[in-house]
């Protein structure tokens, strides 16, 4: 199971990109295989890595479907294989220090 931080935004579409982010978020909410958490700068996804990549691709396509001609995507992956770790586990570990 992977934890993936993703930020998707159009390039050259003005200062506010909230409608594009909202559309990508609709794609995330419409599925039930990958858990998610919306944060101020990224959306954090948790699930099978292949399913997560496919979801990110659909999120990108949703932004293009709104008329964007260029999309920037930042992805950070934590793919831990020695034990299962959830988003909540990572937060708790940092808070407990």
**pLDDT tens for residues 24-62?**
999 999 999 999 999 999 999 999 999 999 999 999 999
Higher pLDDT, 76 or 97: 76
Q: What pLDDT was estimated at residue 14?
A: 85
**pLDDT tens for residues 2-14?**
999 999 999 998 8
Q: What topology does CATH give the domain 2-96?
A: Alpha-Beta Plaits (3.30.70)
First to last CA, the chain: 23
Residue 97, pLDDT > 90, answer no
Distance, in Å, from the CA atom of 71 to the CA atom of 51, rounded to the nearest integer, reads: 21
The Cα-based distances of 34 to 43, 50, 71 in angstroms read 12, 10, 22
């Amino acid at each position: 199971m992977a934890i993936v931080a993703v930020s998707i935004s159009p390039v050259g579409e003005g200062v506010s990109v909230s409608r594009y982010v909202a559309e990508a978020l609709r794609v995330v909410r419409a599925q039930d295989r990958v858990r998610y958490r919306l944060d101020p700068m990224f959306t954090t996804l948790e699930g099978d890595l292949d399913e997560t990549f496919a979801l990110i691709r659909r999120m990108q396509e949703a932004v293009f479907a709104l008329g964007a001609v260029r999309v920037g995507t930042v992805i950070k992956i934590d793919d831990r294989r020695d034990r299962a770790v959830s988003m909540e586990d990572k937060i708790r570990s940092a808070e407990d220090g």
